[in-house]
Structure 1
Amino acid sequence: MRVAGKIAVVTGAYRGIGRACAEALAGEGAQVIALDLMAEAPDYAESSIIYRQLDVGSETDWQLLAEEVSARFGRVDILVCAAGIAPTKSGAHDVTMADWEHILRVNQTGVMLGMRMATGMMLGKGPLSIVNISSIWGQVGGTGQIAYHASKGAVINMTRNVAITYARQGIRANAVLPGLIDTEMVRIQKPEMNAATLALTPMGRIGLPEEIAAGVLFLASDEASFVTGAVLSIDGGFTAQ
């Protein structure tokens, strides 16, 4: 059991990559607290997962979670920030402030608040592994989606900042960059958009949420004890070009 006995918090865990991460960590022995906006918990493959409704952009929600986790477990060993949205494909010329602020609130501020909670709880108290889900679009350019690209680029550098700031205090932070992955968010995109990304993916196929979760599990575990500030692309070779 690769993360046996560890306490893990996973955002965006109702479906897709977040859910796969929650189930992978629980399957390897962690006590997982899974978070998402939905009121009712999904039918997880691992019955030990604790589900809580949480808005990642809400300071109040994070404070309440911190109080619950502190009272019940006294610590958090793993934080996986997987919550993310891409509701608009707008470019710089037509993005609205409402869309801009909504996307950054979830994708960027949500990660910051999660890291603030976890580092504040664990600073000076023991090891902590943070894994943030960014995107290939945080590292390379594409058309449109300026808010999404901006938010995912920010996640990469926030991760590096935390990695360097706390490197000697037992806190590690790494980022994972998924390519085209078979999630609900991808399925509702225009087929031509997905086809264009797939055509540029050297392996010539779409990835699975479980393949992202495998990378997250490694980074979250003690197997990666000398890994911090890393940016791991799991993208079928997309960003190698």
Structure 2
Amino acid sequence: MSTTPATTVPDYATEFAGKTALVTGAASGIGLATARRLGAGGANVVIADYDAEGAEKAAAALLADGVKAAAVAVDVTEPASVEAAVRFAVDTFGGLDLAVNNAGIGGESKPTGEYDIDVYNRVVRTNLDGVFYSMRYELPVLAAAGAGAIVNVASILGSVGFAGSPAYVAAKHGVVGLTKTAAAEYAAQGIRVNAVGPGFIDTPLLQKMNKDDYDALVSLHPAGRLGHSDEVAELIVFLLSERASFIHGSYHLVDGAYTAR
């Protein structure tokens, strides 16, 4: 006979106490918001980013808030760099329990038949290969401990197409497939792997758009606005927590009903 776990209200200030989290692309945006939220929950946080100076500044800000944080430079397109970042987390805090594979880039906007091949390869290397390399070195550490959780940051474009973005769309669809595959492989070892699909998030870059283009983008979201990094971070942190203990291999959209149109 199966038993149902007792439902308890978590102490959000301590739910990640004693755990170490590695977040890639954490110098800004969704990655930084996630790192802050994990730190607020008591986690040791490793800020990993290609922007080494930005990572150091982000880690310093967390430290000033009382979070145990450290920064490491990482190029997710290089396996050795990713391996070193994972090793840094283990060496710095004594282990690894949680990972958020968030690093990514956009690329140019052109039809598939005109898309620059070098740009395509760069986008796929960063957004897809980078997630594979990250899991390739995170999963053995989690498996050795017999527990852990990973969230891969895909996109709404992991479920739909978007004219002019063949590389980004292909990579994000690939992230969803990688997530489901790893989840099936490692669930029996106590490791949960899930993905999130953010819609368009209100970043400084988007705010620089001209008003007509910005308003047109907003109009694609039935919610009537763009999302915020903190809203995505809350979903990521939930999936990393024990509150999501029976969620494996899922892909959760957070998009203001963009894909529900």
Q: Which amino acid aligns with 1:46?
A: L
* CA deviation string 1:11-46 (max 9, x = no partner): 000111111111111111110101111121224542
Matched position secondary structure for 1:8: strand
Alpha-carbon spacing, 1:43–1:14, altered in 2? closer, same or farther (3 Å): closer
**Alpha-carbon distance between aligned partners in 1 of 2:172 and 2:212, rounded to the nearest angstrom:** 22
What residue in structure 1 maps to residue 97 of structure 2? 77
What residue in structure 1 maps to residue 135 of structure 2? 115
Contact 1:124/1:169 (8 A) holds in 2: no
What residue in structure 2 maps to residue 196 of structure 1? 216
Matched position secondary structure for 2:127: helix
What residue in structure 2 maps to residue 33 of structure 1? 46
What residue in structure 1 maps to residue 35 of structure 2? 22
Contact 1:3/1:30 (8 A) holds in 2: yes
**Alpha-carbon distance between aligned partners in 2 of 1:16 and 1:215, rounded to the nearest angstrom:** 14
Larger mean Cα displacement after TM superposition, 47-56 or 208-217 = 47-56
TM-score with structure 2 setting the length: 0.87
Larger mean Cα displacement after TM superposition, 189-198 or 202-211 = 189-198
**Alpha-carbon distance between aligned partners in 2 of 1:191 and 1:55, rounded to the nearest angstrom:** 34
What residue in structure 1 maps to residue 196 of structure 2? 176
**Alpha-carbon distance between aligned partners in 2 of 1:53 and 1:42, rounded to the nearest angstrom:** 12
**Alpha-carbon distance between aligned partners in 2 of 1:146 and 1:191, rounded to the nearest angstrom:** 26
What residue in structure 2 maps to residue 159 of structure 1? 179
Deviation at 1:97, TM superposition (A): 1.3
Deviation at 1:75, TM superposition (A): 2.4
Contact 2:101/2:131 (8 A) holds in 1: yes
Deviation at 1:113, TM superposition (A): 0.7
Contact 2:44/2:93 (8 A) holds in 1: no
**Alpha-carbon distance between aligned partners in 2 of 1:82 and 1:185, rounded to the nearest angstrom:** 18
Alpha-carbon spacing, 1:91–1:192, altered in 2? closer, same or farther (3 Å): farther
RMSD: 1.7
**Alpha-carbon distance between aligned partners in 1 of 2:209 and 2:27, rounded to the nearest angstrom:** 19
Alpha-carbon spacing, 1:6–1:148, altered in 2? closer, same or farther (3 Å): same
Alpha-carbon spacing, 1:146–1:114, altered in 2? closer, same or farther (3 Å): same
Deviation at 1:184, TM superposition (A): 4.1
Contact 1:86/1:185 (8 A) holds in 2: no
The answer to which structure, 1 or 2, has the higher relative contact order (CA under 8 A, 6+ apart) is 1
Contact 2:32/2:58 (8 A) holds in 1: no
What residue in structure 1 maps to residue 81 of structure 2? 61
Which is helix-richer, 1 or 2?
2
Larger mean Cα displacement after TM superposition, 101-110 or 194-203 = 194-203
What residue in structure 1 maps to residue 115 of structure 2? 95
Q: Which amino acid aligns with 1:231?
A: Y
**Alpha-carbon distance between aligned partners in 2 of 1:117 and 1:174, rounded to the nearest angstrom:** 17
Deviation at 1:119, TM superposition (A): 0.5
In structure 1, the gaps of 5 or more residues are none
Alpha-carbon spacing, 1:116–1:189, altered in 2? closer, same or farther (3 Å): farther
What residue in structure 2 maps to residue 46 of structure 1? 62
State the percentage of identical aligned residues: 36
Alpha-carbon spacing, 1:200–1:165, altered in 2? closer, same or farther (3 Å): same
Equivalent of residue 6 in structure 1, options 19, 23, 30: 19
Q: Between Structure 1 and Structure 2, how many residues are aligned?
A: 241
- Correspondence 1:200-211 to 2 at 5 A: 200-211=220-231
Matched position secondary structure for 1:166: helix
* CA deviation string 1:152-198 (max 9, x = no partner): 11111110111111111111111111011012454466765544332
Matched position secondary structure for 1:46: helix
TM-score with structure 1 setting the length: 0.94
Larger mean Cα displacement after TM superposition, 41-50 or 4-13 = 41-50
**Alpha-carbon distance between aligned partners in 2 of 1:124 and 1:43, rounded to the nearest angstrom:** 30
Contact 1:16/1:184 (8 A) holds in 2: no
Deviation at 1:201, TM superposition (A): 0.7
In structure 2, the gaps of 5 or more residues are 1-13
